[in-house]
Amino acid sequence: MMPGSTNVYRRFIASTRGVAAIEFAMILPVLLILLLASFDGGRAISVYMKVRSATYALAAIANQYTTIQSTDMAAIVGATSVVLAPFTGSPVVTISQIKISSATKATVSWSYSLNGTALTQGSTASLPASLFSNNSCGSYPCYLLYGQVTYTYSPTFNYFGQGGIALSDSIYVAPRNSICILYPPQSVTKTSKC
Instruction: Enumerate the β-bridge partners of residue 172.
Output: 146
- pLDDT over 70 for what percent of the chain? 84
pLDDT band for 49, please (50, 70, 90 cuts).
Answer: very high
**Higher confidence at residue 84 or residue 101?**
84
pLDDT at 57: 93
CB 58 within 8 A of CB 73: no
Q: Does 100 reside within a domain?
A: yes
132 within a domain of the structure (yes/no): yes
Within-domain flag for 193: no
Give the total number of structural domains in the chain: 1
pTM of the model: 0.76
- The model's pLDDT over 61-81, given as tens digits with 9 standing for 90+, comes to 999 988 888 888 899 998 888
Bridge partners, residue 100, by sequence: 106, 142
**Percentage of residues of the chain with pLDDT beyond 90:** 21
Q: Write down the pLDDT at residue 169.
A: 93
**34: domain range?**
18-173
Burial code (b: 16+ CB inside 10 Å, e: under 16) for 88-106 equals eeebbbbbbbbbbeeeeeb
